C-alpha cells in the first residue's frame, strides 16, 4: 500500500508529464474505438434497412459465363443462358420457400407465407424515347417495396394502367390520365411514383399479364423478388434449395449481396485499424521515452529507496503501477475521444448514420491502453532496477 502511495504522490507531482504520456496512448485508443463504433453502426444500418425494406431473396435466370480465348490470349467472357424463365417455376419456388419457413418457425398454416413478386423487363421505345417497361404484380410488388409512395394519382387497379417513375414521366412529358401506346396496346397513366433514388425512377410499371401479352412473352418472367415472413428466416438455405431443385434459375440471398458490398467497408476498417495500430506503437514509444526520462530524473530517489531496503522487484512494481495508471487515464480519454470522433466520421462514410456510444468498447479500450503502457514500461522498469546506491550518491 505504501508503494502505491509513493507512485500516486509522484504522479501528482509530475501530473503534466503523466497526462502527456497518457495522451499518446489515448490517441491510438481513440482511433480504435472510432473505427469499431462506426463499423458496428454501419453494419447495423445496412442490416436494419434489409430487415425493414425489400426482398430477402432474388431469383433470376441461370446465366453462366464462358471464357473466350485465342491461344493464350483471353478475349473476355460471353454470357450463356436465357434472359427469362418460365412463370410456372414460381409455384415450385413458393413450395420450397414456404416449406422452409414453416419448418424454421414451426408454422402450421397451409396458406401462402412468402411474398413473391415476379417481374418482366422489356426494353422498348415510347414516343421515340427508350424506356424500360416492367411487368409486375401490383399487390405483390407493393408488399415487397413498402417504401413506394404515389406522388400523383392512385395505385394501379386495372390491367391497362401504368405507374411511371418520376424520370420517365418527365422525359415523356406525360402525367396522370394521359394515354401511352405500347406496341398495339394503349395504357393509361394511373399514377406517378414518388422519387425513390433508385432505378424505379426510370421505369414504367404495367401489370405483368398486359406486358406478357403485348410483347409476346406469355408465361415468361425476367426475375422474382421473394420476401420471407421475417428477417430471421433462413434465406440462405432457401436460396440453396431453390438452386438445387429448380432448373434454369439462380437464387441469391440479398443479405449475401449486402455482405459482399460490406467487404469494401471491411477493408477500409482494416486500413484504419492498421493506422490506429501504428499510432499506438508511436504512443508506446512515447511512454518508453517518458519513463526513461523519469528514471534519469529519479536516480537519487531510487538510490535512496534502495538504501532504506527497497528491492529490485519493488522498484519494477513502482514503474509498472505508474504504467497502469497511465493506461487507465489513456484508456478513458481514448474511449471518450474515439466516441466523439465516431460522430464526426460516421456520417462521412454512411449517409445519415445514427452513431450511438457503446459501453462494450470501454473495457477493451482500457485493456488495450493498459497493455500498451505496461509493455512500454518493461525496459524503463528494468533500467530503474539496475540503479545502484553508489550511482545515486554520485548524482547528488
The pTM of the full predicted model, rounded to 2 decimals, is 0.56
Task: Give residue 70's pLDDT.
Answer: 47
Task: Give residue 88's pLDDT.
Answer: 93
How far apart, in Å, are the Cα atoms of 131 and each of 118, 124, 126, 127, 182? 19, 6, 6, 10, 10
Task: Give residue 166's pLDDT.
Answer: 93
Cα separation of 265 and 91, whole Å? 38
Task: Give residue 380's pLDDT.
Answer: 74
Tens digit of pLDDT at every position of the chain (396 positions): 466 666 667 666 667 777 777 777 888 888 878 877 777 777 666 666 655 555 678 899 986 554 545 445 554 544 444 589 999 999 999 999 888 888 877 777 777 888 899 999 999 998 889 999 999 999 999 888 888 999 999 999 999 999 999 999 999 999 999 999 998 899 999 999 998 888 899 999 999 999 999 999 999 999 999 887 665 567 788 888 999 999 889 988 876 555 555 566 667 667 777 777 777 777 777 777 777 776 666 666 666 676 667 677 777 777 778 778 888 888 888 888 888 888 877 777 666 666 766 778 888 888 888 888 888 777 777 776 676 665 555 555
The cell for 48 is: 436494419
Task: Give residue 330's pLDDT.
Answer: 84
Task: Give residue 79's pLDDT.
Answer: 45
Task: Give residue 68's pLDDT.
Answer: 46
Task: Give residue 22's pLDDT.
Answer: 79
Task: Give residue 156's pLDDT.
Answer: 94
Q: Which residues contact 282 (CB under 8 A, 6 or more apart)?
A: 24, 28
Phi–psi pair at 125, nearest 5 degrees: -125, 140
Amino acid at each position: 500500500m505504501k508503494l502505491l502511495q509513493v507512485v500516486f504522490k509522484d504522479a501528482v507531482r509530475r501530473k503534466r508529464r503523466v497526462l502527456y504520456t497518457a495522451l499518446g496512448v489515448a490517441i491510438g485508443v481513440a482511433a480504435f474505438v472510432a473505427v469499431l463504433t462506426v463499423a458496428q453502426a454501419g453494419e447495423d444500418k445496412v442490416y436494419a434497412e434489409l430487415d425493414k425494406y425489400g426482398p430477402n431473396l432474388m431469383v433470376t435466370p441461370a446465366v453462366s459465363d464462358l471464357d473466350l480465348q485465342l491461344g493464350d490470349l483471353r478475349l473476355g467472357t460471353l454470357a450463356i443462358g436465357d434472359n427469362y424463365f418460365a412463370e410456372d417455376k414460381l409455384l415450385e419456388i413458393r413450395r420450397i420457400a414456404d416449406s422452409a419457413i414453416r419448418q424454421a418457425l414451426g408454422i402450421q398454416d397451409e396458406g401462402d407465407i412468402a411474398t413473391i413478386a415476379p417481374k418482366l423487363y422489356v426494353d422498348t421505345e415510347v414516343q421515340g424515347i427508350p424506356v424500360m417497361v416492367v411487368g409486375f404484380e401490383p399487390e405483390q410488388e407493393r408488399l415487397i417495396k413498402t417504401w413506394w409512395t404515389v406522388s400523383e394519382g392512385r395505385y394501379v387497379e386495372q390491367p391497362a394502367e401504368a405507374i411511371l417513375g418520376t424520370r420517365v414521366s418527365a422525359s415523356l412529358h406525360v402525367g396522370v390520365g394521359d394515354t401511352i401506346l405500347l406496341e398495339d396496346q394503349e395504357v393509361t397513366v394511373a399514377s406517378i411514383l414518388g422519387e425513390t433514388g433508385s432505378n424505379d425512377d426510370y421505369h414504367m410499371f404495367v401489370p405483368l399479364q398486359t406486358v406478357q401479352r403485348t410483347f409476346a412473352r406469355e408465361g415468361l418472367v425476367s426475375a422474382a423478388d421473394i420476401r420471407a415472413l421475417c428477417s430471421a428466416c433462413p434465406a440462405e438455405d432457401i436460396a440453396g434449395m431453390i438452386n438445387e431443385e429448380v432448373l434454369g434459375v439462380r437464387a441469391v440471398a440479398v443479405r449475401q449481396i449486402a455482405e459482399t458490398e460490406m467487404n469494401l467497408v471491411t477493408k477500409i476498417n482494416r486500413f484504419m485499424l492498421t493506422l490506429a495500430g501504428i499510432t499506438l506503437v508511436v504512443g508506446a514509444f512515447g511512454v518508453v521515452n517518458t519513463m526513461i526520462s523519469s528514471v534519469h530524473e529519479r536516480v537519487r530517489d531510487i538510490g535512496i529507496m534502495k538504501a532504506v531496503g527497497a528491492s529490485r522487484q519493488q522498484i519494477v512494481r513502482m514503474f509498472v503501477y505508474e504504467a497502469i495508471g497511465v493506461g487507465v487515464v489513456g484508456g478513458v480519454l481514448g474511449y471518450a475521444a474515439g466516441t466523439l470522433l465516431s460522430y464526426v466520421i460516421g456520417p462521412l462514410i454512411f449517409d445519415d448514420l445514427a452513431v450511438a456510444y457503446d459501453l462494450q468498447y470501454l473495457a477493451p479500450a482500457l485493456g488495450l491502453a493498459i497493455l500498451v503502457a505496461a509493455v512500454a514500461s518493461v525496459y524503463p522498469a528494468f533500467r530503474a532496477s539496475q540503479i545502484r546506491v553508489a550511482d545515486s550518491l554520485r548524482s547528488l
